[in-house]
Structures are given as structure tokens and as C-alpha cells.
Structure 1
């Protein structure tokens, strides 16, 4: 059994997918952390330059050049796009590409800096739950600010997807549908009733999915589709007891994470203790989900006010 001091002595056999675009500085920080754990396989997918953005060609080339720094014994596979697919199609097709070759994978984008223990957390749980189709997603994110319902265990089960550093299986990803083809039937026939904590959360979550459907042609979102995949298959997501991945991509050059006043922009990555303390059950923790949703709503409202008035409340 691994201990808190020797888990990193285990080889990292799980393939890692790094999704990049045009930010060499953030890509460098993520690769530096990947270098510390030396995975045996590294997949790198890069979207192409955007039409009409004069600096993109150079910036994309600079980000791709960072990958040339891989200096450990590692099989590197690349998917470098010539055309720009957008920040929805490009990541989702990159994940599909990964699972055309692998049964499991750890997925990082170019602004998600993981702790070292994140990789072994994912690897151990990918093995433990590989045949349990109830579990579809292993998250590196915990935004409960230290609150725990049950400190006896290293993680809990949720139905909420957080994808700033995560892992999954081919068996789960093969259920993914970028176009959300099942949504109208499930919504109209009431199959989604009871999935959410209350009517407010239902309205919020489904509005995001419907907004995604309305803007499918833009192709700039992929994670709401994955969240719906989990919902529509009664799936569960594993959430660690501490946050294992920080997002360093908040700012003006981001696509979605513009607001640097969001609480998530300040949360750093932590290490999790080994050996992992596994729950003896597989049940969604609704109380933790409720606290997370309420905290997220408060944070979004606060961040908007801070951005509007540009001061700390």
C-alpha cells in the first residue's frame, strides 16, 4: 500500500492528455508539473490559429515548441491542427483522439496546474473503478474551501462535473454527444426531473445546456455536453477532499474565464494524503453538492459586483 512519502515512487502508467492553444507561458507551467511525474505516455493536442488573429500563428507555434522540452523516457503523440476548430470542438475531439488509443486517461488543459499527487490520485481511482459504470468522472477540483461532510474518506461522490484537471475511461467517454441529441426527449418527457437539488438549480443547469444547444454552431463549449452525459447516464463524479488543480488562466486572454475576481481564480493546488481512504459505498453526497452549488452561486454574484465596481467587497 502506498504511503504519503512513497506514492511518487510508483510509475505513472496512465496516459496524460495535454490540450494547448496559444499560451506558451501557461503551457510551460503545466508541462513543468507534468515533467515532475514523468508519465510514460503524453498526448498533446493543439488547435490551429484563428482566422483574423494576426498573432495567433506565432503564439500557437510558441506553445507547441514548449512540448519539445520533454526530456524523460516518454512516448509523445501529437495532434497539431492546421485549422482552428474552436474551444469546444478542439478539446472534445482531442479527448476522442486519446480514447481511440487508450482505455484510460488524465486530461489537462494549458491553464490547469495540478499537484503531483493529483496524477496518482487519478491513477489509483481509474483502476479501482474501471469496471464500475456508475463512476464516470474523476475530478481534481474541490471548491468547498476546506469544508468536509465526512473526513473519514479521501473523496466523495457527486453528480457535478468539474473539468479543470480530471480523468475518465473510454467506456464513459464513448457516451459523449457533442450535439446533445438526447436532451429534447429527456427534458420533454420529464426524465430529468429529480436529478437536481431544487428548482433553482434545475433552472440554472438546464439553462446552460439549452444555451449550449442554441450556440452549437459556434463550437466553443464542450464541458456542458459532458456534464449532460453524466446526468443522462445516472453517472457519478469523484471529488477529492482537497483541491488538487489550480486554474492560472483567468484574465483578458482567456476564452471563458475572464473574471479574475472569481473565487476559483484564487484557489491553489494542494497535495492529498496517501494511502487513500476509500468509501465503503458508492452514493452521491447531496449535502456536499448543495454546499458547492450555493457557494458557486454566491461567488458568481460577488465576482460580478467586484468586476463592475473594481473593488473588494
Structure 2
């Protein structure tokens, strides 16, 4: 596979080993490894980060491994944003996987084909490998379709799109000798949602808040990338079902710390069936907006602050995502 693959890793050797095994099946010619460093005074981090980095000495196919190993802990946003900047200073397109994103083999086929197909179509900004369980019926006969925002649990992108985002979202991070310091999000110009980009009032409220929020701990790097895409009325490709198994839930996770069952990846039927037009699928978009509001808007953040035990959060999540309950919740969110 000629498209470079990028792995973001930290201190989870078991998950890293699984994701690396999936990459081994695709045999990319280049593998970028962006590793955050151990947290100060954390002996477990020292050991586990070392185990993770040693895994890349075992790459056994013809491949150029390009490491970017931090000596100290940068934190999630600096490690990823600066890491993607570094990758796209060297190549014009890439596929990105975090250590807990285990890809089905067809994910790589899908990414490479779409990267080539939409290389010159500047309306398309992002290729996602995860659908957040949007009903397959919304995709018709297509292998994928278009929304504005889409998951970064396995994604692909072009250098010019990412660099266009960074020109608008020009936050620069502190050097690694100041670990743990959060830098407020900063934009060269305001980025309110484009009036035609979102389809639900709940989605518009949420992303307007993200665009205006200056608290560096409120939203991660992915939200700020989505804000740029939405502001520019860009599109993201979303597969009809998950091509990525995210197995990073629980105590060691950065985001979803409550334990939940991972959704297995499934193979995409080949050859890929492309949409007839590069236009927004409003049903897919609405479902994704409501999923975002359900998981990351003000109300669920308040609920998380109130419900501290992770086991209890997991129970609440299971109840809300039951089909009948979710239909009712969707009506409220609308």
C-alpha cells in the first residue's frame, strides 16, 4: 500500500499490538509513529511507553518507519495536532489510526480509493472509518455517503485540507519542556457554522458553542477540525457500517472512560459503490448531529459530572441507546 499510515500511541501495548497487526495486513510502505511521552513521576508510564515503542522494532514487512517520540508528556491535543502537522510537512495524504482503532482490511482499500477519487474535489475534507451506528438504510445502495462532521476513529485526509484548517485554527502549542500546559483554542477568524451545513437545531447550537468556546479543556482537537469543516461547508465521507473497532473504552481512556462493549469492524463489500453525487445526505447528517449532542453537549457533560462511578455511566448509556429509548431521546434532542 502506497498511502502512508500514521499511528498515535502512548502507553497501551496490548491495544497497540492489535492495531499494528491490522496495519501489517495492509503493508504500507511508510509508517509514521507519533508517541506521547510518559507523565512526570509515573513509573508505569515509563515502562509501558517503552514497551509500546519497542513494538515498532518488530515491523517485519518492507516499510520505512518514521518515529516521533516525545521525551515528556505533551498531552492529547499537542501530540496529535503537532503530529499531523509534522506528517503533512512530508506527504500529501495519509491514513490515521489511534492505538485503540483496530481496522478491518477493507478500511485501507476504502481510504486509498477515496483519497484518489476526491483528491481534487476540495468539497471533501475527511474520510472516516466509523459510522457511530447510523442506520445502514440511510445509505441506500452506497458503500458510503457524505455528512459534514464524521468520526476520527480511523480517518484519512489530504495535506492541503489539514493545512487549510490550521491556517484558520492557528493554535500553537508550547514546547515539550512545558508539559501539561493547555493552550486556549485560537482562530485567525471566527468560524460560525455555515447556515447550510447542519440540519438540526441541536447540531447548530452545539457546534456554535464549540466555535465560540475558549476553554482549552472543553473540546479536543477533533471538534476544532469539525468546526472548520462545518464553517467551510465541507463534507466528510462516512461508511455504511463500521470499518474500525474502537476498543479503547474504560479506565485507561482519555475520552470514554466508562466501560462499554466495542462494536466489531465489518468488511466493506467490494467493489466500492460510490454515491452518484457529492452532496450532503441529510438523514446521515441528522443522525450524526444527534449522536454528537447525546454524547458531548452540555446536558451529557452535566450528567457525567453528577454520575461519577464509571459502572453507573455504563448502565445509563446502555439504557439510552436501547432502540425504543433512543427514538424518544432523538425527539427531545430535535
Give TM class, smaller chain. Answer: 0.7 to 0.9
Instruction: Measure, in 1, the Cα distance between the counterparts of 2:208 and 2:15.
Output: 32
Write out per-residue CA displacement over residues 150-202 of structure 1, whole angstroms, 9 at most, x where no aligned residue: 42211101101310100000110102225354486344xxx644432232222
Q: Is there any run of 5+ residues in structure 1 with no aligned partner, and where?
A: 1-11
Trace 1:255-266 onto structure 2 (pairs within 5 A).
255-261=254-260, 265-266=261-262
Instruction: Measure, in 1, the Cα distance between the counterparts of 2:16 and 2:202.
Output: 37
Residue 168 (structure 1) aligned with residue 169 (structure 2): no
Trace 1:227-246 onto structure 2 (pairs within 5 A).
227-246=226-245
Q: Is there any run of 5+ residues in structure 2 with no aligned partner, and where?
A: 172-184, 320-334
Residue in 2 aligned with 1:19?
8
Residue in 1 aligned with 2:224?
225
Trace 1:81-230 onto structure 2 (pairs within 5 A).
81-144=70-133, 146-175=135-164, 176=166, 177=169, 179=171, 180-182=185-187, 185-187=190-192, 192-211=194-213, 213-215=214-216, 221-230=220-229
Secondary structure of residue in 1 paired with 2:113: helix
Cα distance change on mapping 1:219 and 1:85 into 2, 3 Å = farther
Residue in 2 aligned with 1:273?
269
C-alpha contact 2:203 2:293 (8 A) present in aligned 1: no
C-alpha contact 1:45 1:94 (8 A) present in aligned 2: yes
C-alpha contact 1:19 1:109 (8 A) present in aligned 2: yes
C-alpha contact 1:155 1:278 (8 A) present in aligned 2: yes
Q: CA deviation at 1:241?
A: 1.2
Residue 79 (structure 1) aligned with residue 83 (structure 2): no
Matched residue count? 292
Residue in 1 aligned with 2:280?
284
Q: CA deviation at 1:124?
A: 0.5
C-alpha contact 1:178 1:222 (8 A) present in aligned 2: no
Q: CA deviation at 1:131?
A: 0.5
Higher relative contact order (CA 8 A, sep 6+): 1
Write out per-residue CA displacement over residues 240-281 of structure 1, whole angstroms, 9 at most, x where no aligned residue: 1111001111010111121224xxx43211110111111121
Residue in 2 aligned with 1:55?
44
| Alignment root-mean-square deviation, CA | 2.4
Cα distance change on mapping 1:310 and 1:253 into 2, 3 Å = closer
